[in-house]
Amino acid sequence: MSMRISSAFVILTLAAVPELRQAPASPPADLFARRYQDGESLHYLMKTSNSGRTTTLSYTITADVTVKKDADGRFFEEIAWRDMAVDGAPFVLPASSQAFRQLLTLDPNPKYAQIPDLSKVHPILIGPITDLLTFYADMLVAHRGNLAKTGDHFRFAHGTPASWADGQRIILGEDSIDFDVTLTGLDRAAGTATLLVRHVPSTPPQIKVPAEWMRAPVADTPNNWVQVEHTAANKFTAGIGQETFDVTITLSLADGRVLAATLENPVQVLERECDDAALAHCGTPARYEIRRRVEIAATR
């Protein structure tokens, strides 16, 4: 049911939450302002396909969103997850996962742009939680570019590695990205705006590279993704490569709601099985692609 495919499947969205103090000085564009109403609700149907080296996992799940106010009078969204199907078959989430509530906002409030405590949920729910966070965090990045007309564009240099290592099975897991944001469509008649947020290798990437054989580029940019997994006593699976995202978001001009979004996430990987922690004694390299696609669509 689960599969190890990439940082993106687990916690890559850490890279999508740059510290607000690093943002450009220009104010957020009113074009994307979220105009919340206390108590409003909506739903997102999420569809995901994860293709790895040998297996593919697909699932659908529904996110129920309720808008609330916190003690500071700031709006946030409380998300409950339900009706999951994995590879076409219903999957009943444990009671603790059904009771879990994810907190997000489309306002520039870093309090809600955080990875929640994922130990509280079934591992199969980690993907939906972090992918939804990616869409919201990308909107926070887009706010900072003061985009106003079709074709407006900016690049946000981030670079700081995001880690998904757990210190036990995954002993090293990092990626390093920048953001390239374009307002690709503005339809006043339909009341929508469309953004393309590309997660691209940072210049230069800031990931750790633990072995010399990992330095040669796997694709057409310097490597910005690395993972080392401890698979057995004195056995390690080590991968290096290039990871990118193309995230397309359509939002309502009336109230700033995300109406629909897609995420395309390929990772070009070179992987070797190694007999030592230094990754000096390794087998023949294997090249493959990890590819994920995530879609969400809003309903009332």
pLDDT in tens, 136-181: 999 989 988 889 999 999 999 989 998 888 777 889 999 999 999 9
pLDDT in tens, 90-147: 999 999 999 999 999 999 888 887 888 888 899 899 889 989 999 999 998 998 888 9
Instruction: Decide if pLDDT at 9 tops 70.
Output: no
Averaged pLDDT, 15-25: 43
Instruction: Decide if pLDDT at 76 tops 80.
Output: yes
Q: CB of 14 within 8 A of CB of 176?
A: no
Provide the pLDDT for residue 18.
45
Averaged pLDDT, 45-55: 92
Provide the pLDDT for residue 130.
87
Q: CB of 159 within 8 A of CB of 224?
A: no
Cα end-to-end span (Å), the chain: 31
User: For the chain, what is the mean pLDDT?
Assistant: 89
Tokens of 134: 């990616």
Element (H, E) at 232: strand 225-232
Provide the pLDDT for residue 22.
43
Residue 132 CA to residue 295 CA, distance in Å, equals 10
Residue 107 CA to residue 72 CA, distance in Å, equals 13
Instruction: Decide if pLDDT at 20 tops 90.
Output: no
Check residues 45 and 110 and name the one with the higher pLDDT: 45
Tokens of 118: 């994922």
Residue 218 has phi, psi (to 5 degrees) of: -80, -30
Averaged pLDDT, 72-81: 96
Is it true that domain 7-299 has CATH number 2.30.230? Answer: yes
DSSP letter at 281 equals S
pTM of the entire structure?
A: 0.85
Q: Could you tell me the pLDDT band of residue 30, with boundaries at 50, 70 and 90? A: low
List CB contacts of 233: < 8 A, sequence separation 6 or more. none
Residue 30 CA to residue 248 CA, distance in Å, equals 19
What distances in angstroms separate CA 132 from CA 13, 77, 117, 191, one per listed residue?
9, 12, 15, 23
Residue 290 CA to residue 225 CA, distance in Å, equals 12
Instruction: Decide if pLDDT at 194 tops 60.
Output: yes
Domain spans of the chain, in order of start: 7-299
Residue 204 CA to residue 219 CA, distance in Å, equals 15
- pLDDT above 70: percentage of residues in the chain: 90
Provide the pLDDT for residue 131.
92
pLDDT in tens, 243-295: 999 999 999 999 999 999 999 999 999 999 999 999 999 999 999 999 999 99
What distances in angstroms separate CA 92 from CA 3, 28, 89, 240, 243, one per listed residue?
18, 41, 10, 35, 32
